[in-house]
Amino acid sequence: MSEAFDFAIIGAGIAGASLAAGLAAHGRVALIEAEDRPGYHATGRSAAFWTESYGGPMVQPLTTASRGFFDDHALLTERGALTLARAEECEGLEAFIAEFSALGVRVEPLDRAALEARLPGLLPEWQLGAFEPDCCDIDVAALHQLWLTEAARLGADLKCRARLVQAHRGAAGWQLNLADGRTLSSRVLINAAGAWADPVAEMAGVQPLGMAPLRRTVAQLRMGRPVPADLPLTLAFDGSFYFKPEGGRLWLSPHDETPSPPCDAAPEELDVALAIDRFEHVIDWPIAALEHKWAGLRTFSPDRLPVYGFDPAARDFFWFAGQGGFGIQTAPAAADLALDLLLDRPVGAVDPAPYSPDRFR
């Protein structure tokens, strides 16, 4: 016998969990996850930071609007973000500082002496920088669990090991078949499937949007010297690397974006070697050992902005996808915006128009 729901959410990562927590008070919610546990893919592999410039000026309103939720639930730890630039990148860095300062983001220009004070051992080619004092680490596991717990408390039905295999729209809504043989019906189908967002749309007979899963690699290094606990998140202005401390170790990424099919992403040795090579051209700290490496998929829409809203050709199919690498830091505001659209409420402070799927039709 088929179970009946008001909302069926495909994907139980941060995106799906946030919507399940918000929708469960307004109807029956099924949270459908293909893996053994929620958050196995992108959510569980995040570098876990909140910084307002990350993702660009069109993402910044979502990031800024999320800060209050993180503060209210004590999910942030102060970190600071340091962007490094070479002398020839001076004009670009100045434009970056001016653009985000105009948006109300605190960004401070730094000269070489100020960089050395924050990063002892910095190599000579890095002459300029910008510092964002409000950058913080995010407790991603606690955030995810908070929403899963709230969703369960309000009666949402989490179904793991329940890959969607068929979706048909009928007179009474969506008929969904799961890989384990279960079936269910739902008035609204919500696509929060991350790297699988386009395949889920195709399965439902909805035109895909051109979502692009891109692999991102992270290496955990044990250093030959102590890693300061207050070391800022350090990024290259040209987007070629970032690193941050974590539990006495260093997390390092070459900021790679390698196209990938939706999958359980694994790191490539070449990308790990590239990350280490780039790090050795930034700072003279000795590396004692490569302890761990992993990769995750960050999924972008064609214009690299997230997609939130009902599909214009299927008004019972809701897109909540394309969050790229900024899905965690924007999650509270993105959920609020999506809930307003799903429940037909007046939207809050963030304008939904830039993120509407209508822009691709």
Distances in whole angstroms, Cα of residue 121 to Cα of each of 254, 271, 283:
20, 24, 5
Per-residue pLDDT at 230: 93
Specify the pLDDT at position 180.
87
Model-level pTM? Answer: 0.95
Q: How far apart are the first and last CA of the chain?
A: 37
Domains contained in the chain, CATH given = 3-44+140-209+303-360 (3.50.50.60), 78-136+212-300 (3.30.9.10)
Burial 318-352 (b: 16+ CB within 10 A, else e): bbbbbbbbbbbbbbbbbbbbbbbbbeeeeeeebee
Phi, psi of 73 (to 5 degrees): -105, 15
DSSP secondary structure string for all residues of 207-269: -----EEEEEEEEEEEESSPPPTTPPEEEETTSS-EEEEETTEEEEE----EE--SS-----H
Would you give the distance in Å from CA 54 to the centre of its chain? 11
Instruction: Give the tokens for residue 255.
Output: 């900021």
Residue with tokens 């088929």: 2
Edge-to-edge strands, sheet with 76-78: 49-50, 136-138, 76-78
Question: Which tokens is 152 given?
Answer: 């369960």
CA pair distance 300, 358, nearest whole angstrom = 16
DSSP assignment of 101-121 equals HHTT---EEE-HHHHHHHSTT
- The pLDDT of residue 361: 83
* β-pair partners for 344: none
Question: Rounded to whole angstroms, how far apart are CA atoms 339 and 331?
Answer: 12
- What is the reported pLDDT for 171? 80
Q: Write out the chain's pLDDT in tens, 361 residues.
A: 689 999 999 999 999 999 999 999 999 999 999 998 898 776 767 778 999 999 999 999 999 999 999 999 999 999 999 999 999 999 999 999 999 999 999 999 999 999 999 999 999 999 999 999 999 999 999 999 999 999 999 999 999 999 999 999 988 899 999 998 999 999 999 999 999 999 999 999 999 999 999 999 999 999 999 999 999 999 999 999 999 999 999 999 999 999 999 999 999 999 999 999 999 999 999 999 999 999 999 999 999 999 999 999 999 999 999 999 899 999 999 999 999 999 999 999 899 999 999 999 8
pLDDT value, residue 1: 60
Q: What is the pLDDT of residue 289?
A: 98
* Cross-strand bridge partners of residue 83: 130, 235
**How far apart are alpha carbons 328 and 139 in whole angstroms?**
10
